[in-house]
Structure 1
Amino acid sequence: MGSVHIQSNVKDPKKVEMRRAQIVAAAVKLFIKKGFHPTTTREIAKASGLSTGLLYEYVQSKEDILFLVCRHIHEEVETRVEGSLTETGQGSQRLREAIWSLFTAIDSMPDEVLLIYQESKSLPKDFLSEVLGKESEITGIFETLIYEGIADSSLDVDENAVPILAHQIVVTGQMWAFRRWALRDVDFHTFAKVQVDSLMHACGNRVS
């Protein structure tokens, strides 16, 4: 859990979770279609199946909703990456699986990934800090896997390069969302294979 707490006037945690899931699902679609600033809380409430007054029982502001949206997207990506990891196997194998999983997650939700980087600047400072912290957590998964590969000798790379390589993995995956306009003639599998092979080589992969 992070340091940011979104206030709610409703005391039932399950009900809060359910209603906020409705709000987030509606807000994601509206923010992607219209952008954060042009979208009104009235529109979000209507798309959520709630009255505006009822929506404000579960959040205090539109910025609260944007924060919940960003957190939801990051958690979805993180869950998919962590869920792809096998409990056994060399670090290089686990790293390759995680990179593929990251790329596949981004391929399934490119608009959502782009949304974070287009709109998160509108968040209050403490909210933005937590969103960036979640991004760092995802990057940290890849740092850990590279260190595992170094430890079991399936990867041969300078430890000083590990943080840079971990960020490179995440940014390369995000390229599929950011550069779709330039890669429209490239299919996802081709993009992913080229990039995964390149990243694994950069990480000193010793296993084919």
Structure 2
Amino acid sequence: MSKNKVLSSVKDEELIKKRRDQMIKGALTLFKEKGFHRTTTREIAKESGFSIGTLYEYIRTKEDVLYLVCDSIHGEVKKRLEAVVDLKQPSTENLCNVITSFFHLMDEMQEEILILYQEVKSLSKETRVYILQKEREMADMLEKAIITCLPHKLAKQDTALLANNILIQGHMWGFRRWMVQKEFTLEEYIERQLNFALRSMGIKS
């Protein structure tokens, strides 16, 4: 499934984007408060600032809204990660900046990431595969940064595992905040996770 497969009776692409952006913002607010299943399409329409009839001009089902929300979250993560990945000037310092920026982003978006993982199971198999592919793309970006910035090569499997470890460590700040955020400030958490990552790459911190 792609964004274009969320059918709309409206043909104006600019208007579709505008209305769906409103819809995503409204749905995110509601999903944070009460979750996907307890939120109705009527509530989404009201929170978005238009009628239920208008809502259904831009989507077919409530699952379409969830798909657009999940796709939007991944899009924001990708955009912000790309902004800090400077592969033209590869260095260990640049890699540390990428990892640090990723952790800061995960702190800012922890509610959205929680929604993504809690509710993705509610999507159809086809849509879920598409959304999870976006997750693989995040890991691929981190993997590429590791390969490019490290002064020495790691085994391919080790690089892939390390990239996924960094991804999950970022998510863990929100998933297990009931524990880790009581033990560490964000900066302390980043420093320790960065040290672990550097040591696993054979770099003294």
Give the structure-2-normalised TM-score.
0.93
Counterpart contact for 1:91–1:155, Cα < 8 Å: no
The answer to whether structure 1 residue 174 and structure 2 residue 186 are counterparts is no
Secondary structure, aligned partner of 1:193: helix
1:157 to 143, 154, 159: 154
Residues 106-185 of structure 1: matches in 2 within 5 Å?
106-150=106-150, 154-185=151-182
One-letter amino acid matched to 2:180 = L
CA distance in 1, matches of 2:142, 2:32: 28
Q: Any stretches of 5+ residues in structure 1 without a counterpart?
A: none
Runs of 4+ in 1 over 3 A off after TM superposition: 1-4
- Taking structure 1 as reference, are residues 98 and 21 closer, same or farther at Cα in structure 2, changes over 3 Å only? same
CA distance in 2, matches of 1:16, 1:197: 45
One-letter amino acid matched to 1:168 = N
CA distance in 2, matches of 1:8, 1:145: 38
Q: CA RMSD in A?
A: 1.7
In structure 1, the residue matched to 2:45 is 45
CA distance in 1, matches of 2:170, 2:152: 20
Counterpart contact for 2:70–2:131, Cα < 8 Å: yes
Same amino acid, percent of matched pairs: 38
2:203 to 189, 200, 205: 205
Counterpart contact for 2:46–2:52, Cα < 8 Å: yes
Number of residue pairs the alignment of both structures matches: 204
In structure 1, the residue matched to 2:17 is 17
In structure 2, the residue matched to 1:33 is 33
In structure 1, the residue matched to 2:185 is 187
Q: CA deviation at 1:136?
A: 0.3
Q: CA deviation at 1:95?
A: 2.1
**Larger helix share, 1 or 2:** 2
Counterpart contact for 1:67–1:123, Cα < 8 Å: yes
Secondary structure, aligned partner of 2:179: coil
Q: CA deviation at 1:73?
A: 0.7
- Taking structure 1 as reference, are residues 31 and 140 closer, same or farther at Cα in structure 2, changes over 3 Å only? same
Counterpart contact for 1:4–1:126, Cα < 8 Å: no
Q: CA deviation at 1:87?
A: 4.8
Counterpart contact for 2:106–2:174, Cα < 8 Å: yes
CA distance in 2, matches of 1:71, 1:26: 15
CA displacement 1:99-139 (0-9 Å, x = unmatched): 11111111111111011110000001111001100000010
Q: Any stretches of 5+ residues in structure 2 without a counterpart?
A: none
